[in-house]
Amino acid sequence: MREELLKKISADAKRVKQAIEEMKEPLIIHHYDADGISAGVIVEEGVKAMGKNPRIKMYEGFSDEDAEKLKDEELILVDLGSHSIALNDVKKAVIIDHHQIKEGLEVPSVNPWLYGLDGTKEASSSTMAWMVFNIREELALVGAAGDIQTPFTGINRYVLEESGAYDIKRDLTLYGRTKPITQFLMSIYEPYIKGLTQNAGEVRRLLKRLGVKFKDEMTKKEKSYAQLNDDEKLLIRSELVKILAYVDDLDEIEAVVGEVYLIKDKYKVPKRDLREFATLLNACGRYNLEDVGRGIARGEAAAVKRGEKLLEQHSANIRRALTISRALIEEREGYLFVDGRGRIDPSIIGIVCSALQRTEGLPVIGIAKRRDMVKISMRIGDGEVNAGKLMAKLGEKYKGDGGGHVKAAGAEIKDEYVDAFLKDVEAVLKKSFIKVSPL
């Protein structure tokens, strides 16, 4: 089965490469997250190796209108484009992606859905980019980690084993294991850990109670989680699992402890840990700093420094947004509503809603302005409704976009539809609220 699969992929890869060979002035357009950026850089290098000098740009999304605007270009689309039928009419185009392919799209593509694989779990665009070009193997799974396709299965697993670029170990999968331990534990926002997140005093009490020696005896400086001994690490892991189990967050336990993937020492990378590497790239995308993002993926020292600073700012922005959101909460029938338009950054509204959902235990809807659109985030608890399906349905109904997971989802629509959209959400929540209420 695997042999056959690899044959199909390499046939498509060949077709895509051939089409690129025929391009005179290729324009690479990649998505704005860690997957798009790392895949974009793999592709850029692959195209350069063909003796070409591609231009490269980062997009937040790619629509039919974008395709129409670029119809005289020779496009290489990376981590986007698979739902844009208008690409059929572009002068020349190829796609390396892992999103669902719209029926009728006739552009040469490499995409896990073409081989009967699940593109949400088994391969990302960085994985597929490596399958096509076979270069920069240390970047191949950065995007897959960024798209939270861990633990790796499918093509991701194949690349993990085949590339020889990674080590695997079992540990906390959370971001910040190399930061001072109190800072690390108190700034876990996803998942929000009730009692610990944003609570330095409680974190210190916990460490003392567990008997973890978290200060270096010589320097008196605080150690990082990574610097603790194995017993201490185990104590902390068990404690986090216990807290999550106590609030019945069984899904999150799986997300918190599991396989951790490290890029082997022989590669020069800013972060060995794939999750940390991806977080760095995601921050660049969120704040629209494409040159910094690609610079980091290419291994440029100045870009890495800039990215680290950005990440600090991002944490500060989250803290500020959480404080602001407290004052903006409106209690509505069956859910909490946060109107963050003009006050909370659209790239943070989802994190804010997650935090509120966890602390308040009610469904949370938050909105924020993104240029001329409104971003809607929805976070719910167990068994209420399927947020992903609801957002997808309403996103379409109100001529926007929507989707996501069962408990965390979002949509983006025009401002004028927001009230009607929220009314529909409220109707659904009210119904399910009555259903599950013991009264």
Among 12, 44, 66, 79, contact with Mn ion (rule: CB under 5 A):
79
Q: Which residue is nearest to Mn ion (CB)?
A: 35
Site string for Mn ion, 195-214 (x = CB under 5 A): --------------------
Q: Contact region for Mn ion (CB under 5 A) — 3-11, 27-35, 273-281, 321-329?
A: 27-35
> Alpha-carbon torsion 73, 76, 79, 81, what sign?
positive
Q: Tokens in use for 67? A: 């395709």
Pairing of strands 74-78, 55-59: unpaired
85-144: which residues touch Mn ion (CB under 5 A)?
124-125
Query: Which residue number, 143 or 363, has a Cβ lying nearer to Mn ion?
Result: 143
Query: Which residue number, 62 or 214, has a Cβ lying nearer to Mn ion?
Result: 62
Query: Which residue number, 124 or 325, has a Cβ lying nearer to Mn ion?
Result: 124
Among 66, 122, 137, 147, contact with Mn ion (rule: CB under 5 A):
147
Pairing of strands 373-379, 364-370: antiparallel
Residue (of 21, 31, 1) closest to 294 by Cα position: 31
* Smallest distance from Mn ion to CB 293, Å: 14
Query: Which residue number, 35 or 276, has a Cβ lying nearer to Mn ion?
Result: 35
Query: Which residue number, 125 or 182, has a Cβ lying nearer to Mn ion?
Result: 125
* Smallest distance from Mn ion to CB 202, Å: 36
* Smallest distance from Mn ion to CB 124, Å: 5
* Smallest distance from Mn ion to CB 399, Å: 24
| Cβ 189 vs Cβ 255: under 8 Å | no
Query: Which residue number, 126 or 377, has a Cβ lying nearer to Mn ion?
Result: 126
Residue (of 334, 341, 335, 340) closest to 352 by Cα position: 340
Q: Is 35 in the site for Mn ion (CB under 5 A)?
A: yes
* Smallest distance from Mn ion to CB 152, Å: 14
Q: Contact region for Mn ion (CB under 5 A) — 15-23, 28-36, 241-249, 317-325?
A: 28-36
Q: Tokens in use for 24? A: 């005179």
* Smallest distance from Mn ion to CB 13, Å: 18
* Smallest distance from Mn ion to CB 139, Å: 13
Q: Contact region for Mn ion (CB under 5 A) — 35-43, 237-245, 324-332, 425-433?
A: 35-43
Site string for Mn ion, 236-275 (x = CB under 5 A): ----------------------------------------
The site for Mn ion, by CB under 5 A, has a size of 5
Query: Which residue number, 79 or 290, has a Cβ lying nearer to Mn ion?
Result: 79
Question: Residue 331 phi/psi, 5° resolution?
Answer: -85, 120
* Smallest distance from Mn ion to CB 332, Å: 34
Query: Which residue number, 124 or 357, has a Cβ lying nearer to Mn ion?
Result: 124
Query: Which residue number, 33 or 412, has a Cβ lying nearer to Mn ion?
Result: 33
Q: Which residue has the tokens 């910094």?
A: 292
* Smallest distance from Mn ion to CB 143, Å: 6
Residues that bind Mn ion (CB under 5 A): 35, 79, 124-125, 147
